[in-house]
A = this chain, B = another copy of it.
């Protein structure tokens, strides 16, 4: 078993309303930041896991996204696996 470190990004699909992003846009405007067109907010998960190989780690992480980490009706996810230094 090797140790892998994965970076998962979960973002709202295009077209899904993002009220938190809109609020941040407004707040940035109030703070004097001009030129901000759009802000969309998402989540990241930094997962350290043990797996046989990179392929097995990717399979497990995709299953985690489908079952728990992302709501696939309104969210997209993106998994990047790196081998850990350990």
- On A, residues with C-beta under 8 Å from B are 1, 3, 9, 11, 21, 24, 27-28, 31, 33, 35-51, 60, 63-64, 67-69
Q: State the main secondary structure of chain A at its contact with B.
A: strand
Task: List 10 additional A-B contacts (Cβ < 8 Å) besides A35-B60, A43-B44.
Answer: A1-B35, A11-B46, A28-B64, A28-B68, A35-B49, A37-B50, A39-B45, A39-B47, A41-B43, A41-B46
| Nearest neighbor of A7 in chain B, beta-carbon distance | B9
Q: Give Cα A52 to B48, complex, Å.
A: 40
| Nearest neighbor of A12 in chain B, beta-carbon distance | B46
Q: Give Cα A38 to B49, complex, Å.
A: 7
